[in-house]
Chains A and B, each alone.
Chain A
Amino acid sequence: MKVEIDVFSGYRIYPSKGRLFVRGDSKIFRFGASKNQSLFLQRKNPRKIAWTQVYRRMHKKGVTEEVAKKRSRKTVKHQRGIVGADLAAIAAKRNQTSQVRTQQRLAAITKAKAEKKEKESKKPKPQRTQASATTARNISKQQAKGGRGGR
């Protein structure tokens, strides 16, 4: 015994109830009552007839039990190592305390200053000319920009 579903209203059709209609294109339609059949043949849209299952599903009537369908999809983030720095190196860098970082910065600064002093002591003359040339260029650019801005 198979309980069919009415094609119009979505109700269940028990055996010996309703009618089976075979259309010209060999499509089968099952009706549980003459009411459903009549509306179907009048070509009414079940989505607009308020008592049909189709309508109720569309307008979410009486569906409070099915709210559990809301499952939020959370993407899990995986930490990956890159070619230059593997996972351990990244973790090590991230977990450095601020003290360690400031120490590293100071060390770097002192190192840079020392290197600069060495350079200056080695080559005094060519640096000065280079500096004047760059400043001259700067001024000319500024002049040009100022001129355009005025007009």
Chain B
Amino acid sequence: MIGLKGTLNVIDNSGALLVECVNVLKNKVNNGWGSVGDEIVCVVKRARPVPASAQLSAAALKVRRGDVRRAVIVRTKKPVRRPDGRWVRFDDNAAILLNNKREMLGTRIGGVVSADLRMKGWGKIVSLAPKVI
């Protein structure tokens, strides 16, 4: 249940550490709340310090503080129901940054990811994740 002002950890290597939700897309369907597999618009609140010495980072783009980006929610503290009736809940809220075309900004994912992503159509993220639960 991520909504306005909800903070999420970023678990890819795009450079951001903490993002704050500004808007949940497909708002009317979800009653204003975002859950696993939903796209949100977010502001980067905290980012890893960019090395001032030019663009050495060939692998991953570096986002800076105050950037407005899109992201997909991959873990929520609020339990999510699985089709077999199970409820799965994580210890924190986490997201992965995207660009406007629903593509990942980072190249690697560090951490667990919810398996509900696959059902919502984020197969690429699921395949990159080290562990899917």
A28 to B112, CA, bound (A): 11
Contact with A along B51-80 (1 / 0, CB 8 A): 000000000000000000000000100010
Q: Which residues from B are CB-within-8-Å of A15?
A: 84-86
Contact with A along B78-98 (1 / 0, CB 8 A): 010000111111111000000
A16 to B86, CA, bound (A): 5
Q: Which residues from B are CB-within-8-Å of A26?
A: 111-112, 131, 133
Q: Closest Cβ of chain B: how far from A38's Cβ, in Å?
A: 13
Contact with B along A15-34 (1 / 0, CB 8 A): 11111111110101000000
Whether the pair B133, A28 counts as a contact (CB closer than 8 A) is yes
Whether the pair A24, B89 counts as a contact (CB closer than 8 A) is no
Which chain A residue lies CB-closest to B80?
A20
Contact partner of A20 (CB less than 8 A), chosen from B75, B86, B92, B111, is B86
A21 to B89, CA, bound (A): 5
In chain A between 7 and 55, which residues have their CB closer than 8 angstroms to a CB of chain B? 15-24, 26, 28
In chain B between 101 and 133, which residues have their CB closer than 8 angstroms to a CB of chain A? 111-112, 131, 133
Residue of B75, B91, B92 with most chain A CB atoms under a 10 A cut-off:
B91
Asked, given contacts A22-B112, A26-B111, A26-B112, whether A16 binds B89 with beta carbons under 8 Å apart, the answer is no
Count chain B residues whose beta carbon lies closer than 8 angstroms to a beta carbon of A: 15
- In addition to A22-B75, A26-B131, 20 A-B residue pairs with Cβ atoms within 8 Å of each other are A15-B85, A15-B86, A16-B86, A17-B85, A18-B87, A19-B86, A19-B87, A19-B89, A20-B87, A20-B89, A20-B133, A21-B88, A21-B89, A21-B90, A22-B88, A22-B89, A22-B90, A22-B91, A26-B111, A26-B112
Residues of B within 8 A of A (CB): 75, 79, 84-92, 111-112, 131, 133
Question: Can you list 23 residue pairs at the A/B interface with Cβ under 8 Å?
Answer: A15-B86, A16-B85, A16-B86, A19-B79, A19-B86, A19-B87, A19-B88, A19-B89, A20-B88, A20-B133, A21-B88, A21-B89, A21-B90, A22-B75, A22-B88, A22-B89, A22-B91, A22-B112, A23-B91, A24-B91, A24-B92, A26-B112, A26-B133
User: Can you list the 6 inter-chain pairs with the closest CB atoms, starting with the nearest?
Assistant: A16-B85, A24-B91, A20-B88, A19-B87, A22-B90, A26-B112
